[in-house]
Amino acid sequence: MLIVGAGPAGLVLGNLLQAAGIETLVVERADREQVQTRARAGFLGPHSAKVLAENGLGTGMLHKGRSHGVCAFRGESGEFELDYARLGQGEVHTVYPQQDLVTDLIAEYLNRGGELRFGVTVTDVDARTATIGYRDANGTGRATGRFLAGCDGSNGVTRLAMPEAVTRHRQDHGVAWLAVLAEAPQSMAAVTYAIHDDGFAGHMARSPDVTRYYLQVSPDDDSEAWTDERIWAALDIRMRTAEFGPLRQGRIIERRIVHLRSEVVDPIQHDRLFLVGDAASLISPSAAKGANLAIMEAELLARALVDALTRDDHSALDAYSRTCLPRIWRAQEFSRWMIELLHGPADATADGDFQRALRHARLDSLRDSHTHQNFFAEHYVGI
């Protein structure tokens, strides 16, 4: 089995197949250090945590991950908390930095006898024969498997190998975030979403000593224009620290612009090629669904491949797209709902005032309606 990409999607898939006695080869363009230090989302839903724990992939998560079941919203009408662990299905997130999870998955994959090659650039993909051409430090070569999994992201070569007849849904939400990592302890006990006329701001703890912040910025903004001082000043205003208390500041160790976009490929399989994770569907970070979709798809594909390769039963493999896509679209719908909840219009026109009033009405309903809160809780943690 060939797997292109050593992110959560490819590594979970590789680990599950290795455990089932199916030999796999994972190729990754970046080097190992880059893969293990890429700071990405750290919120694992209950299904993701269960998949990892039940398949021997959650040792680090179980020892160092933290349960999180409360989020808060701040706006001009004040602040309210949602204890979503007591709502909906009564489920929580597990906060565990993705770079730590990837490090764990690499170690376990190698321990299970999997082959992993870093610094490999895939140059071409043949879905019919599950063959890739590649270039690495030793020159060029080709590799062939029974099947091929594309886990190399939305800009990877495996998505490009899908035929023209495949439908590619795209939506640019017209919103950008400055994603910031700060060497600072969390300032609030809960994930906090701040709604402000200057733009959205978010606070998400990543570890006891590192906190993720988001600031809504212009889509054509430059991350280098945001100095540490400017970042903290904007966070103070949008997080309303004069009203709710100061932030615990620290050195900014990462700043990058994230454009909120959504993409879905339909179908996500062709001949012997199967797309997983961001290669199948890119989702905005507004609802922390990306890694959880990747793990869900990897689990489903692993089960289908085991059936096909060990029992010659291809029914689940043939149905991979039909099984995954409804879940992908439900996640996309909630992500869009969150975008509309958190972001105001870009101007102060009459229509902008109308949209701003609708946003406040949504927040009021989320604060006051038990039915609305249960909807939020169910979709916030689930897929």
Q: Known catalytic residue: 134?
A: no
Residues 6+ apart with CB under 8 A from 295: 8, 9, 12, 44, 47, 48, 51, 52
Catalytic residue chosen out of the listed positions 203, 270, 289, 343: 289
Residue with tokens 């679209």: 329
Catalytic residue among 193, 213, 214, 320: 193
Give the 3-state secondary structure of the chain.
CEEECCCHHHHHHHHHHHHCCCCCEEECCCCHHHHHHCCCCCEECHHHHHHHHHCCCCHHHHHHCEEECCEEEEECCEEEEECHHHCCCCCCEEECCHHHHHHHHHHHHHHCCCEEECCCEEEEEECCCCEEEEEECCEEEEEECCCEEECCCCCCHHHHCCCCCCEEEEEEEEEEEEEEEEECCCCCCCEEEECCCCCCEEEEEEECCEEEEEEEECCCCCHHHCCHHHHHHHHHHHCCHHHHCCCCCCEEEEEEEEEEEEEEEECCEECCEEECHHHCEECCHHHCCHHHHHHHHHHHHHHHHHHHHHHCCCHHHHCHHHHHHHHHHHHHHHHHHHHHHHCCCCCCCHHHHHHHHHHHHHHHHHHHCHHHHHHHHHHHHCC
Residue 50's CB: how many other CB atoms inside 10 A? 15
Task: Give the Cα separation of 212 and 191 in Å (integer).
Answer: 10
Q: How far apart are CA 220 and CA 348, in angstroms?
A: 20
Q: Which of 285, 320, 343, 379 is catalytic?
A: 285
The answer to whether 208 is a known catalytic residue is no
Quick check: is 193 catalytic? yes
Whether 380 is catalytic is yes
- 84 catalytically annotated: no
Residues labelled catalytic: 68, 193, 285, 289, 380
